[in-house]
Amino acid sequence: MIKKAIIIVVLISISILGVRAQKITFGAKISGGFANQQITNPDVISTGSIKTFNIKGIAQMPLKNNFWLEAGLGISNKGSIAYNDALTTTTHLTYLELPVSVLRKFTFTSLGIFYLGAGGYVADGLGGEFDYQTPGSATSDKINFGKNNDMLRFDTGLNFSTGFEFRNRVTFNMAYTLGLNNIASSAQQDSGTSVVKNKEFSIGLGYLFK
Least confident segment among 9-18, 71-80, 100-109 = 9-18
Q: Residue 87 contacts by C-beta under 8 Å, 6 or more apart in sequence?
A: 132, 133, 134
CATH 1.10.3720.10 assigned to 2-209: no
Output the pLDDT for position 21: 55
N-terminal to C-terminal alpha carbon distance within the chain: 36
The whole-angstrom separation of Cα 165 and Cα 205 is 10
- pLDDT exceeds 90 at position 60: yes
- pLDDT tens digit sequence for 82-127: 999 889 999 999 999 999 999 999 997 788 999 999 999 999 999 9
Q: Which of 20-29, 88-97, 127-136 has the lowest mean pLDDT?
A: 20-29
Report how far residue 169's alpha carbon sits from residue 183's, in angstroms, rounded to the nearest whole number. Answer: 37
> What is the value of pTM for the model shown?
0.87
For residues 46-73, give the mean pLDDT. Answer: 96
Encode 122-137: b = buried (16+ Cβ within 10 Å), e = exposed.
bbebeebebbeeeeee
Q: 124, 127, 121, 122: which is closest to 93 by C-alpha?
A: 127
Average pLDDT over residues 143-158: 96
